[in-house]
Structure 1
Amino acid sequence: MEALEEPELCFPHINTSCRRTRRPYMETTLMYSVLSCIIVLTVILNLLVIISISHFRRLHTTTNLLLLSLAVSDFVMGLLEMPVHLDYQGCWLIGDRMCALNAFLSFLLVSVSVGCMVLIAIDRYIAICNPMFYTTRVTLTRVKLCVCLCWMFSGVHSSWMLRDLLKQPDIFRTCYGECIVVVTFAEGLFDLIITFLGPVLIIAILYSRVLVVAVSQARAMRSHVAVVTVQRSHTVKARKSEIKAARTLGIVIIVFLLCSSPYYSFAVAAQSNSVGGITSGIEIWLLYLNSSLNPIIYVFFYPWFRKTIQHIFTLHILQPGSRDVSVM
């Protein structure tokens, strides 16, 4: 029986090795099953979003470009980040440099997601509150530039936050086989403001304004629907489409806030202000779960996504001229 038991140390032949975290067999099996399903779902659904927006020319809009950037970060999260956390039992087995790289990737992807949420809120604010200037102010070139700046800023921010760990990957570990990130109170406060409190404030202000304008426009459309001309009818439909898009993207942002709030609350509550780089804590998985929920929201609220999924699974995208098919 003893031969079948898991070794107590991560590296049995190293005296300074960390101890392995033990869990009951049923708990481990259930956890692996649920989290594995979440990972597979995250990778597949976000890959479908990436293929859909990249392949079909009718989907090459400014708003969808922001969704594409968000889907890329969610896809990488599911492909590289989540699997590492799935099998972590208190032992980091692939070296200190990979620990630093993993921590950097985690910080980067979370920062990019937050940045995309802010850009989406700005996009919807201009589309609803200043529709006359939307096509001139929000162009594909400017959105691409904003997306690039979002990724660059996130990279710089993550590098600065983890500068000590990136220079000396084993600086914070207390035993061999540990992967941990430690930040000072000032750094933690700065990160909290930059990646959560500041963006949340911006999003709340913009969407409160969008909500007021959308409600007033909806009432105006209902009151004039019986007397509009054909030309005005097309305008009304366009406005309804913009309002529906704002509502859908608003749900995406609300889900993000619900998923990320526990993690940041945990970070603030921790007296030591240290966050494990690899942990199976529920607040970490709630943060990562947001990457799975985004494409699920698209399935329920975006008809074009359901159509593109049909084209992809039936291999119609391999046919000549499939890029120009109307899926809107």
Structure 2
Amino acid sequence: MDNSDLRQKISVQYCFPNNNGSCRKEVRVGPGNLFLFIVLSCISVGTVVLNLLVIISISHFKQLHTPTNLLILSLSVADFLVGLFVMPVKIMQIFDSCWYLGELACCISEIIIGILVLASLCNMVFIAVDRCIAITHPLLYSTRVTPFKMSVSIILGWSFCLLYLTIFMYSNDHLTPSQIYSRCYGECVVFVKYPWVITSVVIFFLTPCAGILVLYIIIFMVARRQAKAIRAVINQASKKMPSSSETKAAKTLGIVIFFFLAFWIPFYVSSLTVTNLTTLSVVWTVFGWLMCMNSTVNPVIYAIFYPWFRASAKYILTCRIFKSASSVLNLHREHT
């Protein structure tokens, strides 16, 4: 072995130098990568902070303990976990080729991501159903949809996501519905078979999204018809018509669902064109991050369209929620 070969061998870095089966270590450095690291880190921190504000707001202020807000709370929990867990892991995988957490953690990370994806879809379906009942049956909404019933539905929804993934894991003799490949120690690469991609698109995307779109078509058709009725019979009791707050809530949550579809459709559509989809592919990296950024956008939408969120955020950031009786404050009156 000459000196050049020896120098080349010495310069090679491994993920675990004391392990003979360790993978080679590739760390992406440079000004461009540093800038990207800062941007993605800020997105991750922003996602955690904004969704944490939503979680604290709805949990602390009793006025916000409504069925619709409980759904927003459930969605914010999923978004919060995306910013706290999924984004940092994805950042680590982008800038460092090594996986230091072990094979079990690699499998668990994919399970958690799967649960959060399914939970987000579940929450979106529940939101559409909730708004449909509120608009089409405004007089019966308070009796049909209660905070207790909504809490039970949310718990069942999350439980279903966990149960489904558990059943799928053991029925396929894998820890996840995907396959974890480790060519060497210190690698976490997920290989998704094409049949699973098709199944995922049909069952976990097209079907719930089609249901959401149908429900919102019904919502806006009914809202439009009732708006005409209000103009035609303006002297009749307005309590028989949906309140403006209900219509506004439907529109706001409709925007949330629109952005949800806009951020998720590219990944699912592009994945159909890839025969072998892995976590190392550009499709997985770019559009996967686009999906994650939907968790950042949701609380921004709340801040723009919900005055109660802006009021509660001020109380939280100024630590006034620690004052006595702060939980019973009228947040709507703060912005009237």
Same-fold call, TM cutoff 0.5:
yes
User: 1-side partners of 2:281 and 2:103: how far apart?
Assistant: 11
Shift of 1:161: 4.2
Shift of the 279–192 alpha-carbon distance from structure 1 to 2, 3 Å rule, reads closer
Q: Secondary structure at the match of 1:151?
A: helix
Query: Any residues of structure 2 matched to 1:178-189 within 5 Å, and which?
Result: 178-189=187-198
Amino acid at match of 2:121: V
Shift of the 106–7 alpha-carbon distance from structure 1 to 2, 3 Å rule, reads farther
Shift of the 311–223 alpha-carbon distance from structure 1 to 2, 3 Å rule, reads farther
Question: What TM-score, normalized to structure 2?
Answer: 0.86
Q: Which residue of 1 aligns with 2:62?
A: 57
Q: Which residue of 1 aligns with 2:267?
A: 263
Shift of the 266–126 alpha-carbon distance from structure 1 to 2, 3 Å rule, reads same
User: 2-side partners of 1:161 and 1:140: how far apart?
Assistant: 32
8 Å CA contact 1:18–1:178 kept in 2: the answer is yes
Query: Any residues of structure 2 matched to 1:39-118 within 5 Å, and which?
Result: 39-88=44-93, 89-118=96-125
Query: Any residues of structure 2 matched to 1:291-302 within 5 Å, and which?
Result: 291-302=295-306
User: 1-side partners of 2:57 and 2:11: how far apart?
Assistant: 45
Q: Pick from 182, 202, 217 the counterpart of residue 226 of structure 2.
A: 217
Stretches of structure 1 lacking an aligned partner (at least 5 in a row):
none
Amino acid at match of 1:79: L
If asked which structure has higher relative contact order (CA below 8 Å, sep 6+), I would say: 1
Q: How many residue pairs end up in the alignment?
A: 320
8 Å CA contact 1:161–1:183 kept in 2: the answer is no
Query: Any residues of structure 2 matched to 1:228-307 within 5 Å, and which?
Result: 228=235, 232=237, 239-275=243-279, 281-307=285-311
The superposition leaves residues 90-139 of structure 1 with CA deviations (integer Å, 9 ceiling, x where unpaired) of: 22111011111111111111110110000000000111112232122112
User: 2-side partners of 1:186 and 1:280: how far apart?
Assistant: 17
Q: Secondary structure at the match of 1:182?
A: strand
User: 1-side partners of 2:298 and 2:156: how far apart?
Assistant: 22
Shift of the 309–234 alpha-carbon distance from structure 1 to 2, 3 Å rule, reads farther
8 Å CA contact 2:124–2:257 kept in 1: the answer is yes
Shift of 1:219: 3.3
Amino acid at match of 1:84: V
Q: Which residue of 1 aligns with 2:4?
A: none
Shift of the 41–223 alpha-carbon distance from structure 1 to 2, 3 Å rule, reads farther
User: 1-side partners of 2:192 and 2:284: how far apart?
Assistant: 19
Amino acid at match of 2:301: I
Q: Secondary structure at the match of 1:269?
A: coil
User: 2-side partners of 1:213 and 1:91: how far apart?
Assistant: 54
Q: Secondary structure at the match of 2:313?
A: helix
Shift of 1:235: 6.4
Shift of the 77–278 alpha-carbon distance from structure 1 to 2, 3 Å rule, reads farther
8 Å CA contact 2:189–2:279 kept in 1: the answer is yes
What is the root-mean-square deviation of aligned Cα atoms in Å? 2.8
Shift of 1:6: 8.4
Q: Secondary structure at the match of 2:255?
A: helix
Q: Which moved more, 1:172-181 or 1:95-104?
A: 172-181
Shift of the 320–248 alpha-carbon distance from structure 1 to 2, 3 Å rule, reads same
The superposition leaves residues 160-204 of structure 1 with CA deviations (integer Å, 9 ceiling, x where unpaired) of: 44444428x996222222212334444333322232111111001
Question: What TM-score, normalized to structure 1?
Answer: 0.88
8 Å CA contact 1:99–1:277 kept in 2: the answer is no
Q: Which residue of 1 aligns with 2:3?
A: none
Shift of the 26–221 alpha-carbon distance from structure 1 to 2, 3 Å rule, reads farther
Shift of 1:222: 4.2
Amino acid at match of 2:73: L
User: 2-side partners of 1:160 and 1:17: how far apart?
Assistant: 33
Q: Which residue of 2 aligns with 1:137?
A: 144
8 Å CA contact 2:180–2:191 kept in 1: the answer is no
8 Å CA contact 2:23–2:187 kept in 1: the answer is yes
8 Å CA contact 1:179–1:276 kept in 2: the answer is no
Q: Secondary structure at the match of 1:262?
A: helix
8 Å CA contact 1:173–1:179 kept in 2: the answer is yes
Q: Which residue of 2 aligns with 1:172?
A: 181
8 Å CA contact 2:15–2:23 kept in 1: the answer is yes
Stretches of structure 2 lacking an aligned partner (at least 5 in a row):
1-6
